[in-house]
Structure 1
């Protein structure tokens, strides 16, 4: 065989080997591509700061992972079990106490019905367990906690699927007053786009202000906001009262909310009175540069002379 012919045969052979290698690569996928072991491990993306408007959107943050033992549960009373895995892949056992508890969990269906604030129990194997009430549809659960080893708050979220006929409910229109269990709760102020804002809630029953609220989770009320669509978690904190003023037990409670993104939110205020916990819910729209229910700076017919939360 002459030299040019030999070179041609070698070139063809190398081409065939290269093509076969490319084909194998397309079938197997790149080393760090979808479906690879590296890609199957959630990236340790930084978690949003505590109370941030995009909290709870990720299942992982700062090397920690929220891992449900099952992501499909039956309708009705069900038991949710999950673990928080640390950067070493082991279940986290040590948490800093915040608002009386090691870990706070909220659950809500995608249409923002069925909201529940839950406090799971931690087992010796690092598994959290809690019963909850579920209706058919897609649910979002958000865990709010501080691993002792990390020393700062994380809010991680995951989805649950509940089998059955899904009957989505329309979101209630914005209103300045919510009625729950015989109580009237009036909202003044609202969420602001791009800046902190204040929200004040005033509780009354039978037309009389409630001035003997009972402590719940170390405060006279706990407030959470969830954004419609992605159910981003926002956790406003009670406003600090003046140094010379002791915390009051009602009727007014004020919260400071971090900057919110434009959109529609559902606010859930849990307060305790007469040895029972009640949840008042509000719909609030946040326009670019606007605050309050339906974009108003102040909710209509709200009482004056607000006190501070604690």
Structure 2
């Protein structure tokens, strides 16, 4: 890449979110303009604190905005059983730097960046999509200056929250539906990719040797319950960053994606119409497979660069 990609990241750290955020902060091909804290893996005050603690740890000064504290319609859910009570259990981070916090609501802060940018902005969503949905409703005119949205979310088959719902989409199905119906270019890393690209124990042990950052990630990995430290960790969110930076690692299908917002057992399910059964217009490029070895090498290098 000759020019860095201007990016806004919405995230709910979360251990795998912390990894993805760190890669974004250090990768020379990304110009991270704004971090929006989403309520998801843990509550909004904790995800906000986690972002600011991570920036203190890395001595970064990227502006941060606090997102809304709940889904548009449904009650909030969380994943503390996976990420721990704080969302980033396992490491003693420095105090958060609240001077980085922008005194705006998230949609307004996102609009300020997008509407004033000379280059089209890429939005990355690796948590619930509430803030992006509200932003797109409030500022539809900004769509012309958005390059695309890259999402980690959805399940092609069975889910990891409901029977068919993946956690990020299940957190706010109505918001996800608004985003997928936005008409913007969308690229998706579904849950299944995390099952294909596990971070195995030998990789975690190698990462431990990568200086201060490697030691921190290793400590988080030992507390993470997305998979197993001994049999492989599902670091889902880094896959979305991989899609942005190294798309050749993935195989994509251009399909129609529909989010079910009907109450019942399939509420929050993401329908990836891989065989075009619905005969509806394609609205997303979905990564259906990833080159495991290439991803692991990219992942290790990305972690090593976080120092």
What TM-score range do you get, normalising by the shorter chain? under 0.3
Structure with the bigger percentage of strand: 1
The structure with the largest helix share of the pair is 2
So what's the TM-score if we normalise by structure 1?
A: 0.26
Q: Which has the higher contact order (CA 8 A, sep 6+)?
A: 2
Bigger CA radius of gyration = 1
The TM-score with structure 2 as length reference comes to 0.27
